[in-house]
Amino acid sequence: MQFRSMEVLDYDAMISLWRDCDGVSLRDADSIDGIERYLKRNPGFSFVAIVDDSLVGTIMAGHDARRGYIQHLAVANRMRNTGVAAKLLERSLAALKAEGIFKSHVHVLGDNAPGRRFWENRGWMQRAEIVMYSYINGDSKNT
């Protein structure tokens, strides 16, 4: 298995993987332009896992200069429970730490029980005291 930085050239393979993964919600922001902007704004924090020239895992990460944010940690069904997700997470957290970012957040859909277990098993704490609000500043309802 090989790990490398995520590139916009990985887009088609990433979208295919994300569509096949339960618990990954895709939005307009996941367009090729949106992913390209994200990667340019947050270079060196997002990674892919490759096996036999096939993309089998992704993690997107970035920061706002204070906190890190993890998104789209996804692993192909055939590679689940082999440590791929943990290794991708380790790489992103190490890159964030090297940048001086010591606290990170992740959003997990409430009905994504396997995802919630993954994060809890790694010591991530659910924050019941925080309520998230969203606002769409545009015409699309799926941004």
**pLDDT tens sequence across 12-58:** 999 999 999 988 999 999 999 999 999 999 999 999 999 999 999 99
> Rounded CA gap, 135 and 143, in Å?
10
What are the tokens at 7? 């590139």
> Rounded CA gap, 88 and 60, in Å?
9
pTM score of the predicted model: 0.93
HSE-CB for 21 with a 13 A CA cutoff: 28
What domains can you pick out in the chain, each with its CATH number?
A: 2-121 (3.40.630.30)
Backbone angles phi, psi at 120, to 5 degrees: -65, -40
46-104: per-residue pLDDT in tens? 999 999 999 999 999 999 999 999 999 999 999 999 999 999 999 999 999 999 999 99
